[in-house]
Structure 1
Amino acid sequence: MKVVPEFHDDFWIPIPLDTNNISAYSPFLVPQDHLGHHGVFMAMAALMFFLFVAGTAINVLTIVCTIQYKKLRSHLNYILVNLAVSNLWVSVFGSSVAFYAFWEKYFIFGVIGCKIEGFTSTIGGMVSLWSLAVVAFERWLVICKPLGNFTFKTQHAIIGCILPWCIALSAAIPPLCGWSRYIPEGLQCSCGPDWYTTNNKYNNESFVMYLFCFCFAVPFSTIVFCYGQLLITLKLAAKAQADSASTQKAEKEVTKMVVVMVFGFLLCWGPYACFALWVISHRGETFDLRLATIPSCLCKASTVYNPVIYVLMNKQFRSCMMKMVCGKNIDEDEASSSSQVTQVSSVAPEK
């Protein structure tokens, strides 16, 4: 295979050796049948359609549920709603566009559409990622009490909602201004930052390292540290109250939820970060673009499994959603209880 010359400003794809007409293989003009079987594109279209429908439904439900039920308007839940908004953003502007592009087997929306899709998906993804870090940080402050009797107030929740959007803009705007660029990725049916080329014109490698360090390593380290401290606090509380069944139950529930949260984060962002680093550290090596599509799909799938982890595992949200959708009344003890993570605040040892 021959690599498209890096001076092409709109895309990067491998093309056959005997082809000199790059435009004949442009992902903006013709179906990319040379990159994969028809069935692969249709399978990806089906997946994107599912993510669009499921992601839109569950995140809209989360937002509407919070508006309808006053008891859900806690400071922590404000951040979870912010997460739902970012997930909805990706579903509407990312998964839906990718569905139609996979159906057509090329990015039918053109160069400008690619920049818009890459920009909006990056914003939604970064807000989602940093919202998870903010949730972990909030739990650490409230439960582990590193600042003593710190009270998480409305203004703190507002800052926790605004900050991820500011950070997301710092990651999404540079490719529009010449630091990296947005191009079709994988099977050329969705767009993202350019991991592939070493063109000094765009300084792609420095942008990839910026994203990896500031938009993956920092929030991931925050999540691991905060939830690690939370687990230590729980174990100390459980040890001090060994005869308390509720304390022991809270420890097991939160341990399970923390493991699921960290695993979900790694499943969403780990492959994307690892793929980007592998590409920039193995320049010139060939790779299957079908495999390169997987990390992008896992990121878009977060619009579904993030709400499942952070919302549906929250007893307040779950009970209110069932009541709103099914008209089913939930046991009052369960309906009035907080999320599994919030429950442990009552058993955390005093410092």
Structure 2
Amino acid sequence: MPESWDSRDDLPEDFFIPAALDVPNVTALSPFLVPQTHLGSRGVFAGLSAFMLALVALGLPANALTVACAARFGKLRSPLNRVLVNMAAANLLVVCAGSTTACYCFSRAYFALGPVACKVEGFAATLGGMVSLWSLAVVAFERYLVICKPLGGFAFRGSHAALGCAVTWIFGLAAAVPPLFGWSRYIPEGLQCSCGPDWYTTNNKWNNESYVAFLFCFCFGVPLAVIVFSYGRLLVALRAVAKQQEQSATTQKAEREVTKMVVVMVLGFLVCWGPYSAFALWAVTHRGQSFDAALASVPSVFSKASTVCNPVVYVFMNKQFRSCMLKLVFCGKSPFGDEDDVSGSSQATQVSSVSSSQVSPA
């Protein structure tokens, strides 16, 4: 494995190769032309291809079912559920344009679809990922407004949901479009079988450092701060109610269940997006230092895993969505009983209300 990585400014294509590999014709190592077996064994490529195939096999039906259920069952078209459907649509974009492409390219051990497809895949995966990530922040902030009531009797309506969804796509485009116009660029990353923003090279004309700083602060730091703040305040409210009702086993159980749910949500966010953000920041602040290409592919793979993690946490743990999905799959009849009468308004955090006298999971 090479000692350091750098860019070759005279390359006709958008890619980088190890500077320590002294070859007369650098295009001989192009990730668009030949297998990148100098970066990892065939077994590593095959393993990552299998993992991406699993993400496609799980993420595609999970998110497609979410969209289909919302279209089929009117009771699922609540304002908050529209944000969840928006997230599912963004996840489908990542699965179709990112995970499937990476699965195929890992199986070939190089980005066999060419430079144009690399830019398309990088743009689509970044856009879908950012929309999904910001959707998580919108859901968290909605829970804070509705449950903790900092604005009094605020009601999350359809217009608020539409505005929230529009904001996620605007912010997603703000993150995904710049590399297409010279602020950073989309190139093969890690083992060169999936594409993303250029974290690695030192060519100042791409202004990679400023772009990475923008992504880290605006597209990871801000959503994470919103999520932690919103769910943190929610937990404080829940604990306050539980403390007032120390003798109530139901309240104490509800408080424990919601605490567990919030912890799972935040951990899911960090597991999916933390490695990608941390690696990008490390790559920019440690120019020229060696790193393993296979390990560099792991953060990208984890970020794509959010297409499976998000529907499991936010949708499948929602009783109304789960019931409707089972009915859709089994042609109108749930094999596990009818859950139509469950209370709540399809709330993703499984909490329908917090008052001075009650904590109630949906």
CA deviation string 1:146-167 (max 9, x = no partner): 1111111110010111111000
CA gap of 1:225–1:318, structure 2 versus 1, over 3 A, is same
Q: Is 1:30–2:34 an aligned residue pair?
A: yes
3-state secondary structure, aligned to 2:205: coil
3-state secondary structure, aligned to 2:112: coil
Q: Give the CA deviation at 1:121.
A: 0.3
Matches within 5 A, 1:162-181: 162-181=166-185
Alignment partners' CA distance in 1, 2:322 and 2:201: 46
Q: Is 1:128–2:132 an aligned residue pair?
A: yes
- What amino acid sits opposite 2:193 in the alignment? C
Q: Give the CA deviation at 1:50.
A: 1.4
CA deviation string 1:82-115 (max 9, x = no partner): 1110111100000111111111111111111111
CA contact (8 A) 1:247 1:347 kept: no
Alignment partners' CA distance in 2, 1:104 and 1:89: 22
CA deviation string 1:305-344 (max 9, x = no partner): 1100111111111122122223325354764445575654
TM-score normalised to the size of structure 2?
Answer: 0.92
TM-score normalised to the size of structure 1?
Answer: 0.95
User: How well do the aligned residues superpose, as a CA RMSD in angstroms?
Assistant: 1.8
Alignment partners' CA distance in 1, 2:19 and 2:204: 22
Q: Is 1:346–2:353 an aligned residue pair?
A: yes
Alignment partners' CA distance in 2, 1:196 and 1:52: 28
3-state secondary structure, aligned to 1:184: strand
Matches within 5 A, 1:265-284: 265-284=269-288
CA gap of 1:339–1:260, structure 2 versus 1, over 3 A, is farther
Richer in helix (by share): 1
Q: Is 1:247–2:254 an aligned residue pair?
A: no
Matches within 5 A, 1:1-351: 1=2, 3-7=5-9, 8=11, 10-14=14-18, 17-326=21-330, 327-328=333-334, 330-332=337-339, 335-339=342-346, 344-349=351-356
Q: Point out 4+ residue stretches in structure 1 off by more than 6 angstroms.
A: none
3-state secondary structure, aligned to 2:150: coil
CA gap of 1:336–1:23, structure 2 versus 1, over 3 A, is same
Alignment partners' CA distance in 1, 2:34 and 2:313: 39
3-state secondary structure, aligned to 2:38: helix
- What amino acid sits opposite 1:317 in the alignment? F
CA gap of 1:10–1:152, structure 2 versus 1, over 3 A, is same
CA contact (8 A) 1:42 1:103 kept: yes
CA contact (8 A) 1:323 1:330 kept: no
Alignment partners' CA distance in 2, 1:166 and 1:325: 34
3-state secondary structure, aligned to 1:34: coil
